[in-house]
Structure formats: structure tokens, C-alpha cells
């Protein structure tokens, strides 16, 4: 779309990267940070990154996705560490399992909260982005969150009926701007965690 704004009678509003960073509780200093984005990942690369045997058979992987259950069975519960039929390469090695567990959690979080699919499955390309996020401390997911909000809103404007990811952040942003305030005040983000302080600011 040519214009991603909310248009009212005599003014327009548009979310900014800094606002999204503040509401998400992420570092607001975005200049110079490495921008994370989904990248092509083959089913074999997906399995390798998560230390899962390539012999594991799963129809979804060939379609570029997996279910949350697929990740949860292997890394969401402690029993996954010892289960021999799940195809984990490091079965019994808790240190390696814990390291891959973090990667699996970030991948699942991005797939469920930030970049959800209508069929509720998780894009396997997100594991590549999660891997970079772990290895690079100067990376940020904020631009991805904002672009996903715009993408979803564009689809809704064109008649689509699905908008799930990050809509809570969008609601917080909208309420912050439409809330009646005193004539003079500091409109900057004054609290480190804007989500936990949201209710207090609205009263």
C-alpha cells in the first residue's frame, strides 16, 4: 500500500519503530542494530538447527511449516530429552538439549505471536531468524513486528478476515494515542515496560 496510516477527520496516525519497541519492552535504540527477517530454510536445515534427525518423517516440513506440537513434544516438556522415538540427535544430553530448547522456544514464539499463519502452523524459515537472534546480540525484531502489523492491516483492508499477530501491541498503541490527557504533558515513553504500566497510564 502507498500509505500505512490511520486517518481521522483532520489528522493521521501511524505507528513508529520506537513506539513498537517501547510497547514490546525491547531496546528502543534501533540505529545500527541488525534487522532480523525470515530467511529461506530447507527442511533438512530446519532439522539440523534443532538437532533433530533427518530421518524424521513429517509431511508439513516439505510444505515449509511445522506444528507447535512438533516442537513442544521435543523441547516443551522434560520428557522430550529422554524420548528415543522423537529423533533428537542429542538424546540424554541435557546441556545440548537446553541450548536447542531456547532456539525452539523463540521459533515457536515468533510463529505463534509475531508471524502467525491462518492454519496455526509455524513457518520453518523462522528458525533461521531465531538462530541469528541468539548469536547476534545487536539484532532486533522490531521492524518485523511493525511490518507484520502493516501486512495484516493491508489484508484486512482488502477484505481479509484474519488478523492475529501483534494485534495487542496495535491496540495499546491506539489507546495510548486516543486517550484523553491533560493539555500539557510529556508524551514520551516514561516506563521501561509499557505493557505492565499501561493500565496505570490509562487511569
Q: Give the bridge partners for 139, in sequence order.
A: 34
Q: Give the span between the Cα atoms of 102 and 96, in whole angstroms.
A: 10
**pLDDT of 197 higher than 80:** no
Counting Cβ atoms within 10 Å, is residue 2 exposed (0-12), middle (13-18) or buried (19+)?
exposed
Across 136-160, average pLDDT: 82
What does pTM read for this prediction?
A: 0.75
pLDDT on residue 42: 95
pLDDT number for residue 175: 76
Please tell me the least confidently modeled range out of 9-23, 33-47, 59-73, 158-172.
158-172
CB 72 within 8 A of CB 78: no
Task: Please report the pLDDT score of residue 187 as a whole number.
Answer: 47
Q: What is the pLDDT of residues 150-194, one digit of tens each?
A: 877 777 778 877 666 677 777 777 777 776 655 544 545 555 555
Mean pLDDT of the chain: 81
Amino acid at each position: 500500500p502507498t500509505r500505512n496510516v490511520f486517518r481521522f477527520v483532520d489528522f493521521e496516525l501511524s505507528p513508529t519503530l520506537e513506539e513498537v519497541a517501547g510497547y514490546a519492552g525491547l531496546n528502543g535504540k534501533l540505529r545500527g542494530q541488525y534487522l532480523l527477517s525470515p530467511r529461506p530454510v530447507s527442511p533438512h536445515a530446519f532439522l539440523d538447527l534443532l538437532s533433530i534427525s533427518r530421518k524424521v518423517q513429517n509431511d508439513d516440513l516439505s510444505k515449509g511449516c511445522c506444528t507447535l506440537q512438533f516442537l513442544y513434544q521435543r523441547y516443551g516438556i522434560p520428557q522430550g530429552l529422554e524420548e528415543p522415538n522423537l529423533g533428537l540427535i542429542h538424546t540424554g544430553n541435557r546441556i545440548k538439549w537446553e541450548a536447542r530448547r531456547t532456539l525452539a522456544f523463540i521459533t515457536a514464539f515468533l510463529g505463534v505471536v509475531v508471524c502467525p499463519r491462518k492454519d496455526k502452523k509455524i513457518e520453518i524459515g523462522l528458525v533461521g531468524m531465531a538462530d541469528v537472534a541468539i548469536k547476534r546480540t545487536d539484532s532486533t525484531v522490531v521492524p518485523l513486528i511493525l511490518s507484520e502489523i502493516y501486512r495484516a492491516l493491508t489484508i484486512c483492508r482488502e477484505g481479509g478476515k484474519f488478523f492475529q499477530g501483534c494485534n495487542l501491541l496495535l491496540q495499546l498503541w491506539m489507546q495510548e494515542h486516543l486517550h484523553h490527557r491533560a493539555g500539557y504533558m510529556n508524551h514520551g515513553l516514561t516506563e521501561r515496560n509499557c505493557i505492565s504500566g499501561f493500565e496505570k497510564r490509562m487511569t
